[in-house]
Amino acid sequence: MKNCGLFFILFIALSCSKENVRKIDVQKDLSELLPNKSFDSEARGLYHGIIVSNDTNLHGKIWINLGNDENYNALVKTLDNQIFSFTSILISTNDTYFHFEGTEGEFDFDVSNINNPKAENVYINHQPGFINVIKEKDGQKAAAVLGTYSGGPYSGTWDFLVGSGETEINKIVITTASGFMIEDNLVNFESNIIECYPDDLTPFFINDIGSGLYELFAPGQIWNLDGGGTILYDFGFSKSLADLNNFEYSTGLFYPYFWTTYTGTTVTPNPACYFFNGFHGLFRFNDVTGTIQFDTSSVPLPTTSRNLEKPLINNITSDYFLEFSN
């Protein structure tokens, strides 16, 4: 009789707990699911960004689905082609705080402020980690571009996020190999006039498959850290320019005027953009200079010969490669 009573109690407990377990359709690819426009101003919907383990060995993109299609789940795709998912358990009664669990880890997700969603208590790849996302809106996908940086004693991940239907970079997120994450936001970006671009330039990313454009550029950026210290960085890439010159997509772009101004070094006297040989950008911190490299595996390759679409960036000194070593 005692065993029957215990079974009845367990049955009731499990039945009650299932009310908080959200529906999940594991067959859907959240990276392709479009955000529901009717959820633009509320917590429900889709969120997209990056996920990194403390040691930065796990590095990928994450999509979080809060009832966009009545499901509550999350999907991760890593740089080394791992794919795994999480299911959600509702924590708060007002649908703003969730707990996600999966075979690879767990995290809590707070969307009480949809303009600043926060992932907490992230545990991934058998260790603590970080998640940084933005809300997808207006029926369009946001973008996350993954990268890494290395120079002297400094190394880690260097990623950026772009809002739905936008071209301006929303935030740049750095995760260090020593286990902390910092971000530089749109409101802090410098706007510069440079000779190789037709307009005032804030960091941007354009990925228009229809026109063949895949360009990113962030020249002359000064990142003043809250705890003291300054990071200078400058990066760029143009698929069109690489195609026109038959270059590998590991070839980056650089506008050296700002770099020479703030570091006191001389790279070139000409106010033009230059090609980087084998990386996409430079950073400088505590008198140490290093390189930035973005993942270009998702850049669409030319289908016939080289894609000859006209790039937005011009005035390139194409016969000059800027060589750099740590």
Q: Domain residue spans in the chain?
A: 30-37+44-140, 142-326
**Mean pLDDT comparison of 225-229, 238-242, 286-290, 292-296, highest-scoring range:** 292-296
Region 269-281: mean pLDDT is: 76
Could you tell me what percent of the chain has a pLDDT over 70?
Answer: 76
* Banded pLDDT at 23 (limits 50, 70, 90): very low
Our CA angle for 286, 288, 292, nearest 5°, is 115
Bridge partners of 49, per DSSP, are 62, 133
Nearest Cα residue to 313 out of 272, 277, 283: 272
**CA distance linking residue 156 with residue 146, whole number of Å:** 11
Mean pLDDT, the chain, rounded, equals: 81
Highest mean pLDDT among 32-36, 89-93, 212-216: 32-36
- pLDDT tens for 190-207 read 887 776 766 667 888 888
- The residue with greater pLDDT, 142 or 300, is 142
- State the pLDDT at residue 277: 79
Residue 249 and residue 177: Cα distance in Å, rounded? Answer: 26
Q: How far apart are CA 16 and CA 89, in angstroms?
A: 12
pLDDT confidence of residue 11? 35
> Is the pLDDT assigned to residue 320 strictly greater than 60?
no
Please state whether the predicted TM-score (pTM) of the whole model is above 0.75. Answer: yes
pLDDT of residue 89: 83
- Band (24; pLDDT cuts 50, 70, 90): very low
Mean pLDDT of 42-71: 96
Q: At residue 293, does pLDDT exceed 70?
A: yes
Say whether pLDDT at 17 is over 80.
Answer: no
Output the six-digit token pair for 64: 């979080």
Distance (Å, rounded) from C-alpha 322 to C-alpha 102? 45
Place of tokens 């359709």: 25
Contact in structure between 311 and 204 (CB atoms under 8 Å): no
What is the distance between the alpha carbons of residues 154 and 156, in angstroms, rounded to a whole number?
7
Q: Which residue has the higher pLDDT, 3 or 164?
A: 164
Residue 316 pLDDT: 57
